[in-house]
Amino acid sequence: MKICFIMYPWEKIDPEDDSTLRLIHECAQRAHTVALCTLNNLTIRESVTSAFCDVLTKESRPSEKISTFYSKATFRRSQLPLAGFDAIIMRANPPLDTFALNFLDSVRADTFIMNDIDGLRIANNKLYTASFQDTISEFIPATYVSKNRDYLERIFRESESDRMILKPLDGFGGRGVIVLEKSAQQSFRSLLEFYIGGDESGAGSNYVILQEYVHGAEAGDVRILMLNGDPIGAMRRVPALGDIRSNVHAGGAVVKHKLSAQEKKLCKYIGPKLIRDGLYFAGIDVIGEKLIEVNVLSPGGIMRINKLNRTKLQQRIIDFVENVINAKELVTNRKNQFRQVIEDADAV
């Protein structure tokens, strides 16, 4: 099979914990043709969407050791039509360049894209969790999104909790997430001015999220990897001393985690919508058994969950991609056979 990874630059990979590298390595071990490109390398040539790709040179047998595979990998550069790939796996880092996704609209009927570009468009920020419509807050904490400083101040003032979470709508990696204390309410207006920004007319301003503080956040969060609507692995991320953020890149650590009954119920609740939106591979962040974020661009954690549970999640993910491609080919072949039957009948 021919698989293209649209991702971050190869040289930016940390071979010790990079999830995309595990997926690429798995494809190479299965002798698939693997091409890599960044969003900046998408182009159109004679009305055909293509990309300047680095095609992985096939070895007789890729090294089992990830670090060796990474250091010895060689590539050849070529401009290739994206419609010729069986699958495109989106692994670009946030923030999402929505304009670049327009290049892929012309090839979506020809190749399987994971995750679907429309799904990426609607789920690339923290507002997506509100679309699950959990009106009783069983699975999602009460969330408020606005640019209106007066409104947000009123919400904070009227909250029955002594703490809330403030974060930018388009943030990632735990950047900008802070805990608001009622005792420091006099500083809230200043924080809003900093986070929302813009001038008096609202030009250049940013949306922010004000969210119910979920008790247990100080103990960390749970990252759950979802594949085709089902959980395939999880880990608990513990924040560094003195930090509310559990993200590993923010200094957090990881420990083994077994999903609770309520966490399984949560996954079952959101799984069907993820599938409907074409978000076949996603990472969800859960605190106190409530959904905090959905990560759909390049969800990580494969390597860490593998180590904690002695598993290889990349095998299940590439199995899924292969199954989708095979199913599409089966439908195409069946259609062609039926067309041939009709042509043969018409020729009699």
Say which range, 13-22, 87-96, 127-136, 151-160, has the weakest mean pLDDT: 127-136
Q: What is the per-residue pLDDT for 241?
A: 64
Write the DSSP string, 49-79: EEEEEEEEPPPSS--SSHHHHHHH--EEEEE
Q: What is the per-residue pLDDT for 272?
A: 96
Is residue 335 within 8 Å of 343, Cβ to Cβ?
A: no
- Phi, psi at 324, each rounded to 5°: -65, -45
Q: What is the per-residue pLDDT for 87?
A: 98
Neighbouring residues of 186: CB distance < 8 A, sequence distance ≥ 6: none
Does residue 172 carry a pLDDT above 90? no
Q: Would you state the CATH architecture of domain 2-114?
A: 3-Layer(aba) Sandwich (3.40)
Is the backbone of residue 201 left (phi > 0), alpha (psi -120 to 50) or beta?
Answer: alpha
d(CA 25, CA 27) in angstroms, rounded, equals: 5
3-state helix, strand, coil in the chain (%, to 5): 40, 25, 35
Q: How confident is the model at residue 216 (pLDDT cuts 50, 70, 90)?
A: confident
Instruction: Write out pLDDT tens, residues 282-332.
Output: 999 999 999 999 999 999 999 999 999 999 999 999 999 999 999 999 988
- Phi, psi at 198, each rounded to 5°: 80, 175
pLDDT above 70 covers a percentage of the chain that reads 93
Does residue 27 carry a pLDDT above 70? yes
Say which range, 60-74, 141-155, 162-176, has the weakest mean pLDDT: 162-176
Q: How confident is the model at residue 99 (pLDDT cuts 50, 70, 90)?
A: confident
Q: What is the per-residue pLDDT for 252?
A: 72
Write the DSSP string, 145-210: EES-HHHHHHHHHH-SSSEEEEEETT--TTTT-EEEEGGGGGGHHHHHHHHH---TT-TT---EEE
Q: How confident is the model at residue 146 (pLDDT cuts 50, 70, 90)?
A: very high
Amino acid at 300: G
Does residue 174 carry a pLDDT above 90? no
Say which range, 33-47, 160-174, 272-286, has the weakest mean pLDDT: 160-174
pLDDT above 90 covers a percentage of the chain that reads 61
Q: What is the mean pLDDT of residues 257-267?
A: 96
CATH 3.10.20.30 fits 142-212, yes or no: no
For domain 219-309, give the fold: D-amino Acid Aminotransferase; Chain A, domain 1 (3.30.470)
Is the backbone of residue 323 left (phi > 0), alpha (psi -120 to 50) or beta?
Answer: alpha
Closest CA to 263 of 304, 222, 311, 323: 222
Neighbouring residues of 111: CB distance < 8 A, sequence distance ≥ 6: 82, 83, 84, 85, 86, 87, 88
Domain boundaries in the chain? 2-114, 142-212, 219-309
Closest CA to 24 of 52, 50, 54: 54
Q: What is the per-residue pLDDT for 200?
A: 64
Which residue in this structure is represented by tokens 């020809």? 110
Amino acid at 76: R
Q: What is the mean pLDDT of residues 111-129?
A: 91
Average pLDDT of the chain to the nearest whole number: 89
Please give the model's pTM, rounded to 2 decimal places. 0.88
Closest CA to 252 of 9, 8, 17, 10: 17
Does residue 251 carry a pLDDT above 80? no
Amino acid at 107: V
Angle formed at CA 256 by CA 237 and CA 209, multiple of 5 degrees: 25
